[in-house]
Chain A
């Protein structure tokens, strides 16, 4: 594609970075969809020129990752990434009320698991994963080092992954 006046700055960057983005998408498992993902991305960013972006390249990679995930989620029914236990609606065995109870019970277990790692780990996890704060901002807010934030996050994610494995085995 040629750069014309109708192409946004981000789209120009996308064209320049096409090989890097394609390589990333291939490594990320996009397979034959890599070109389609970039095409989706191209349309997505066509309306964003009014908004300055601090790091356009990083922005495009992240947006590509998001587009890819959306597509993979849409392909869920093809089997690979199934959250059988989270989406119990897939099975007709458990009635609605029971499903809600199970989800609530699991949330309670997840909260207990996090708290058992200490109040700070719990707080760091919530600020980062649920509220979307950056690691640097959390470190500043709590007056701790960046590596402490990292370690806390690793603990929290590890414990939650182990809990999920247990749920899966149930």
Chain B
């Protein structure tokens, strides 16, 4: 199998695969620029290309060749949006990022916040990046540490064994021993999932080492539990998907609140209903909540600005 490519980079690479397939694509120098910026880009691109050809190959036995433009004139493309910041562009982009989303906190630190339903990507001074899900606050303490105050963030960290990156959250310390991991802190507790490299939970205490695919959760009791998850599901929220394996409905509701921008609560007796499956967060909060209600055998009702999921047999809330 090919080496793992970080999800952020994989997304960039897929963007190029998609664009190059358009017969109107003409930005070849920009593509070469991107490839040259970091040797990892070529690997990511080839991997994205392999995935594309393999999957398209399922639809039609032979992979489609790249379309060659024919004689007919081609309409000029509209200007493209800026793509994910990567590699050498990080330093340049940082000034902008700090300018627009900093709330200003203590000396030496900046705080970044998102409203529910919002997303933000932040480039850090050392070349690391974090992507904030909705209803999330993160304080950058210094070059190599950040605090997740609440919510969910995906960290893509430049690894430096001599000077590890630290994420603090709710009195817990996570030390990176690799590169990409997702952290959630909300009313249901703490969850840490590692997509790439490794993370050490509480290096000075329990020192639980988490490898790719490991997901550690700490609920109210405070005892950490490690389970397995599929690496590509980690951070799927960035693409509008929430992926679960035996999650409690309470946790699903907390995730939905963060992603949809409306409060989703669960009624008594439904908290522990297990859910396995993938939820798309597209299509409006009402539709999403109705879908999850149908999938879990609960009833969705409006509650103030938000939604309530109740047991169908239970008394109305």
Contacts and interface: CB of A to CB of B under 8 A. Distances in A.
B24 interface: yes
Interface string B227-240: 00011110010011
Interface string A143-161: 0001100100111011111
A86 B20 CA distance: 23
B10 to A, nearest CB: 7
Contacts of B20: 62, 65
A157 B69 contact: no
A157 B233 contact: no
Contact of B46 (A29, A55, A59, A165): A29
Contacts of B283: 118
Interface string B57-79: 11110001111111111110110
Given A86-B57, A129-B21, A155-B239, A146 B28 contact: no
B278 to A, nearest CB: 7
B187 interface: no
Nearest to A163: B55
Given A27-B36, A162-B232, A132 B55 contact: no
Contact of A107 (B49, B58, B74): B58
Contacts of A62: 20, 25, 66, 68-69
Contacts of A155: 239-240
B23 A146 contact: no
Contacts of A83: 50, 53-54, 57
A43 interface: no
A161 B66 contact: no
Interface range for A: 35 or more
Contact of A54 (B28, B57, B69): B69
A97 interface: no
B81 to A, nearest CB: 7
A147 B35 CA distance: 24
Contacts of A110: 55, 58-59
Contacts of B57: 83, 86
A18 interface: no
B55 A58 contact: no
Interface string A40-80: 00000000000111110111011101100100000000001
Nearest to A145: B78
B29 interface: yes
Interface string B163-192: 000000000000000000000000000000
A3 interface: no
Q: Is the interface of A mostly helix, strand, loop or mixed?
A: helix
Interface range for B: 35 or more
B32 A27 contact: yes
Contacts of A89: none
A136 B58 CA distance: 26
A99 interface: no
Contact of B239 (A24, A59, A65, A158): A158
Given A110-B59, A136-B75, A136-B77, A86 B54 contact: yes
A54 B74 contact: yes
Contact of A130 (B31, B48, B59, B241): B59
A117 B278 CA distance: 11
B280 interface: yes
Contacts of A86: 54, 57-58
Contacts of B81: 147
Contacts of A12: none
12 contacts: A61-B28, A66-B65, A118-B283, A129-B59, A134-B22, A136-B78, A154-B14, A154-B15, A158-B14, A162-B236, A165-B51, A165-B230
Interface of B: 1-2, 10-11, 14-15, 17-18, 20-26, 28-29, 31-32, 35-36, 42, 46, 48-60, 64-75, 77-78, 81, 230-233, 236, 239-241, 278, 280, 282-283
Closest 6 CB pairs of A and B: A27-B35, A61-B28, A160-B55, A161-B51, A162-B232, A27-B32
Given A160-B52, A161-B10, 10 more contacts: A28-B35, A29-B42, A53-B71, A57-B26, A81-B50, A134-B23, A155-B240, A158-B14, A164-B51, A165-B232
